[in-house]
Amino acid sequence: GDSVTQMEGPVTLSEEAFLTINCTYTATGYPSLFWYVQYPGEGLQLLLKATKADDKGSNKGFEATYRKETTSFHLEKGSVQVSDSAVYFCALGGVRTGGGNKLTFGTGTQLKVEL
């Protein structure tokens, strides 16, 4: 079945450092890929998405490129801020087979950004 693997956290960075959170997936067909972010005490919010190979999703300075050859969708940001501290979830939207548009989530990676 579909699955998503994320790097273990927590990831601790200094402000203005470069961020990479790795995400790889296993799926049949050509899934859509997503990054969701969860700030403390809140529900998840969609951060960015890519729906086909070589697409780059971007939002709020974050980027991720859909790499079919490596089945990856790594999240990057050039300069993190303290306000980016949150838990980041990679997710996969599988091929629809009558089961609707269900997402499969990774386990999440906690990011802590310090001054």
Partner 1 sequence: IAGITQAPTSQILAAGRRMTLRCTQDMRHNAMYWYRQDLGLGLRLIHYSNTAGTTGKGEVPDGYSVSRANTDDFPLTLASAVPSQTSVYFCASSPTGDYGYTFGSGTRLTVV
DSSP H or E run through 25 = strand 23-26
Reading the block at residue 5, the tokens are 């693997």
**Listed ranges 10-18, 45-53, 55-63, 66-74: which one lies at the site for partner 1 (CB under 8 A):** 45-53
- CA torsion angle 98 58 111 86 (round to 10): -70
Q: Which of residues 68-107 bind partner 1 (CB under 8 A)?
A: 89, 91, 93, 96, 99-103, 105-107
Kindly write down the DSSP assignment for every residue of 33-88, as one continuous string: EEEEEE-TTS-EEEEEEE-STT-EEEETTEEEE-BTTTTB--EEESS--GGG-EEE
**Number of residues counted as binding partner 1 (CB under 8 A):** 23
For the CB of residue 15, give the shortest distance to partner 1 in the complex, in Å: 26
Per CB under 8 A, does 42 bind partner 1?
yes
CA distance 80 to 12: 11
In the set 29, 40, 43, 97, which binds partner 1 (CB under 8 A)? 43
| Residues 11-30, interacting with partner 1 (CB under 8 A) | none
**Residues in the site for partner 1, rule: CB under 8 A?**
32, 34, 36, 41-46, 49, 89, 91, 93, 96, 99-103, 105-108
